[in-house]
Amino acid sequence: MRIAISILGAVLLLHCGNEIVKQTIAEARKKPKLKVTIYQEDLALRKTLEKAVEQEHIGTVLDASSGNGHMEMTVEVDETVTTIPKIRAILSRHGLLEHSSIVVIP
C-alpha cells in the first residue's frame, strides 16, 4: 500500500512539475513588440493608423503618444516577419513610409 501511495505521489509530482515548466516556458515566450515612430504629429492620423493596425488584425496597440514633432505607438504582434510589411503597407497608404521607422523592442 505504501509503495502504491509513493508511486502515485511521484506521478502527481512529475505531472505537476511538468505543468509548472510548461507554464514558465509559455510565460517566457512573450509576443514581440514593435515601436512604430512617425516623424509627423497629427492626432487624428495616429488614431487612424492605430485603428487600421487593429482592424486588419496585425496586432494590438499597447501604447501611443505624440509630441515634439513625432508620434509613436507600441504594437504587440504574434511575429515580426509578416507583420512589419503589413505595417509598412499601412504607412505607405497614408504617405508616411518615408517618414517613419519600425523597431523591434527587446
**Predicted confidence (pLDDT) per residue in 50-95, tens digit:** 999 999 999 999 999 999 999 999 999 999 999 999 999 999 999 9
Output the pTM of the full model. 0.71
Q: Could you give the count of Cα atoms lying within 13 Å of 36 in the half-sphere of its Cβ?
A: 29
**Measured between alpha carbons, how far is 83 from 91 in angstroms, rounded to an integer?**
13
pLDDT at 78: 95
Confidence (pLDDT) at 106: 81
Cell numbers at residue 96, please? 508616411
Written as nine digits, the cell of 34 is 514593435
Q: In the predicted model, what is the mean pLDDT of the chain?
A: 84
For the beta carbon of residue 23, count every other beta carbon within 10 angstroms: 10
Grid coordinates representing 93 are 497608404
